[in-house]
Amino acid sequence: MENSHINYVEFKTKDIEKVKAFYQQSFGWTFTDFGPTYTAFSNSGLEGGFELTEDDVVNGALVVLYHENLALIQDKVVEAGAEICKPIFSFPGGRRFHFKDPAGNELAIWSDK
């Protein structure tokens, strides 16, 4: 993994089983479940996942970049004009934070460190 490169894309879904069946049948993607509210996919060309939500899906993709030093890169994006919308938090496999760029697009940066 390289710092500051797109590493993952995350989508929202109201029905994890239905979306898994669709992508497996249509494109041959495979899935790894992480509890009842999250599944990761592979064999798609880019790693990603689906997160269960009850909200309407608007702007359904979350682009996730990688950086080994979250504190450093968080400071850099804030200095460049980003708004932190989810401070650093832990999840199975690592930690990440979300930010909005100056145009209002929400992205995330994660680290396994």
Inside any domain, residue 63: yes
Inside any domain, residue 85: yes
The yes-or-no verdict on residue 60 having pLDDT over 80 is no
For 83-113, write each residue's pLDDT tens digit. Answer: 999 999 999 889 999 999 877 878 899 999 9
Inside any domain, residue 1: no
| Alpha carbons 35 and 33: distance in angstroms, whole number | 6
The answer for residues whose C-beta is within 8 angstroms of residue 60's C-beta and 6 or more apart is 11, 12
The yes-or-no verdict on residue 37 having pLDDT over 90 is yes
Round the average pLDDT of the chain to a whole number and report it. Answer: 91
Inside any domain, residue 76: yes
Inside any domain, residue 47: yes
For 16-34, write each residue's pLDDT tens digit. Answer: 999 999 889 878 999 999 9
| Alpha carbons 99 and 77: distance in angstroms, whole number | 8
Domain hosting 85: range is: 6-111
What's the burial of 97, exposed, middle or buried (CB within 10 Å: 0-12/13-18/19+)?
buried
Q: Which of the 8 DSSP states describes residue 73?
A: H
Instruction: Specify the long-range contacts of residues 90-95, CB closer than 8 Å, at least 24 apart.
Output: 92/34, 95/70
How many structural domains does the chain have?
1
| Alpha carbons 50 and 70: distance in angstroms, whole number | 23
* CATH number of the domain within which 83 lies: 3.10.180.10
Phi, psi of 16, rounded to the nearest 5 degrees? -65, -45
- The predicted pLDDT at position 101 comes to 87
